Amino acid sequence: MPFGEIGAFLLVLVAVFLFGNLWFHFVETILNRIKKLFTRRKEPPTWHMLSPDEEDRKNG
Partner 1 sequence: MGLFSKLFKGPEIDMEKSDANAKKMRALFNQVVEDGDSYRLIFGYTEDVSRFNYGFVHGSKTKIGNLIVGWNAASQTIVVVPTVPDLSGCGDPTYYRRSEILKAYRNKYPTDAFIIYPDKKGYIAINAYDWLEDEKLYVYVSQDAELAAFTDFFMNRFATK
Q: How many residues of this chain interact with partner 1, rule: CB under 8 A? A: 17
Quick one: which of 6, 12, 20, 29 contacts partner 1 (CB under 8 A)? Answer: 20
Q: What sign does the dihedral 18-21-27-31 (CA atoms) show?
A: negative
Query: Which helix (DSSP H) or strand (DSSP E) does residue 34 occupy?
Result: helix 3-39
How far from chain centre, in Å, is Cα 26? 12
Say whether residue 50 binds partner 1 (CB under 8 A): yes
Quick one: which of 15, 23, 32, 35 contacts partner 1 (CB under 8 A)? Answer: 23
Q: Which residues bind partner 1 (CB under 8 A)?
A: 20-21, 23-24, 27, 45-51, 54-55, 57-59
